[in-house]
Amino acid sequence: MKKIITIILLFVIIISGVYYLNNQPYQVEDITSIKIVNTNKIVENGAILDQYLPLLNQEDSVTDNNKDFTNGFDLVFTMKNDNVHTLTLVHDFKNKNVHFINEDSEIFTLSKEDSLFFFKNELFKGVYKKFDPNFVLSNKEMTLEASSDEFQISHTFDDLEIIEYSWDNIKAKKINTITNPNGLSVTTTNSSTELLIYENDKLIHTQTDFSKELFVPEYDGAFDYVFKVKSNHQKETHITKTVEYQIIFNRKPVFELSHDTIKQGHFLTITGKYLTLDEIQSIDTLIIEEIEFYENGHEVVAYIPIHARTKPAIYDIKIKTENKYEHLYSVEIIDQKFKIQYLYVTPSTMASTSNAAAYAEYNKYFHPVRKVSNEKKFYDEHFIMPLTARITTEFGEGRYINDAATSYSHSGLDLAAAKGTPVHAINHGIVTLSRHFALTGNTIIIDHGQGLLSYYLHLDTLNVNLNDSVTTGDLIGTVGSTGRSTGPHLHFGTSLYTTYIEPGYLIYGEPITKDNYETLFQ
Question: How far apart are alpha carbons 6 and 323 in whole angstroms?
Answer: 45
Strands 221-230 and 240-249 come out as: antiparallel
Specify the stretch interacting with Zn ion by CB under 5 A; choose among 82-90, 103-111, 212-220, 489-497. Answer: 489-497
User: What's the CA angle centered on 324, arms 323 and 330, to 5 degrees?
Assistant: 130
Specify the stretch interacting with Zn ion by CB under 5 A; choose among 306-314, 330-338, 419-427, 486-494. Answer: 486-494
Q: Which of 92, 224, 244, 414 binds Zn ion (CB under 5 A)?
A: 414
Specify the stretch interacting with Zn ion by CB under 5 A; choose among 12-20, 70-78, 362-370, 408-416. Answer: 408-416
Assess 224 for contact with Zn ion (CB under 5 A). Answer: no
* Binding residues for Zn ion, total number by CB under 5 A: 2
Q: Which of 277, 284, 249, 283 is nearest to 179 (CA)?
A: 249
Of 134 and 499, the one with the shorter C-beta distance to Zn ion is: 499
Specify the stretch interacting with Zn ion by CB under 5 A; choose among 120-128, 185-193, 428-436, 485-493. Answer: 485-493
Of 87 and 417, the one with the shorter C-beta distance to Zn ion is: 417
- For the chain, percent helix, then strand, then coil, each to nearest 5? 15, 45, 40
Question: How far apart are alpha carbons 344 and 498 in whole angstroms?
Answer: 27
Question: How far apart are alpha carbons 456 and 443 in whole angstroms?
Answer: 6
Q: Give the Cβ contact number of residue 390 at 10 Å.
A: 13
Shortest Å, Cβ 420 to Zn ion: 19
Of 183 and 487, the one with the shorter C-beta distance to Zn ion is: 487
Helices vs strands, H then E, count in the chain: 8, 37
Shortest Å, Cβ 361 to Zn ion: 18
Specify the stretch interacting with Zn ion by CB under 5 A; choose among 8-16, 182-190, 212-220, 411-419. Answer: 411-419
Of 448 and 491, the one with the shorter C-beta distance to Zn ion is: 491
Residues in 94-153 that interact with Zn ion by CB under 5 A: none
Report which residue type is found at 226. V
Assess 397 for contact with Zn ion (CB under 5 A). Answer: no
Of 219 and 521, the one with the shorter C-beta distance to Zn ion is: 521
* Residue 232 CA, distance from chain mean position: 33
Of 99 and 370, the one with the shorter C-beta distance to Zn ion is: 370
Of 263 and 458, the one with the shorter C-beta distance to Zn ion is: 458
User: What's the CA angle centered on 94, arms 90 and 97, to 5 degrees?
Assistant: 45
Question: How far apart are alpha carbons 16 and 89 in whole angstroms?
Answer: 10
Question: How far apart are alpha carbons 372 and 468 in whole angstroms?
Answer: 16
Question: How far apart are alpha carbons 17 and 27 in whole angstroms?
Answer: 11
Specify the stretch interacting with Zn ion by CB under 5 A; choose among 188-196, 212-220, 306-314, 410-418. Answer: 410-418
Which residue of the chain is nearest Zn ion when measured via CB?
491
C-alpha pair distances (Å), 80 with each of 53, 77, 85, 375: 21, 10, 12, 82
Shortest Å, Cβ 332 to Zn ion: 29
Shortest Å, Cβ 473 to Zn ion: 22
SS3 category, 402: coil
Backbone angles phi, psi at 349, to 5 degrees: -65, -45
The single-letter DSSP state of residue 480 is B
Shortest Å, Cβ 457 to Zn ion: 7
Shortest Å, Cβ 481 to Zn ion: 12
Of 374 and 392, the one with the shorter C-beta distance to Zn ion is: 392
Shortest Å, Cβ 485 to Zn ion: 8
Specify the stretch interacting with Zn ion by CB under 5 A; choose among 15-23, 357-365, 368-376, 409-417. Answer: 409-417
Of 370 and 491, the one with the shorter C-beta distance to Zn ion is: 491
Shortest Å, Cβ 507 to Zn ion: 17
Of 219 and 359, the one with the shorter C-beta distance to Zn ion is: 359
Shortest Å, Cβ 315 to Zn ion: 28
Shortest Å, Cβ 423 to Zn ion: 14
What residues contact 220, with CB distance under 8 A and at least 6 apart?
249, 250, 251, 274, 275
Q: What sign results for the dihedral spanned by CA atoms 427, 433, 434, 440?
A: negative
Assess 491 for contact with Zn ion (CB under 5 A). Answer: yes
Of 151 and 395, the one with the shorter C-beta distance to Zn ion is: 395
Question: How far apart are alpha carbons 160 and 173 in whole angstroms?
Answer: 6
Please report, as ranges, the residues that interact with Zn ion according to CB under 5 A: 414, 491
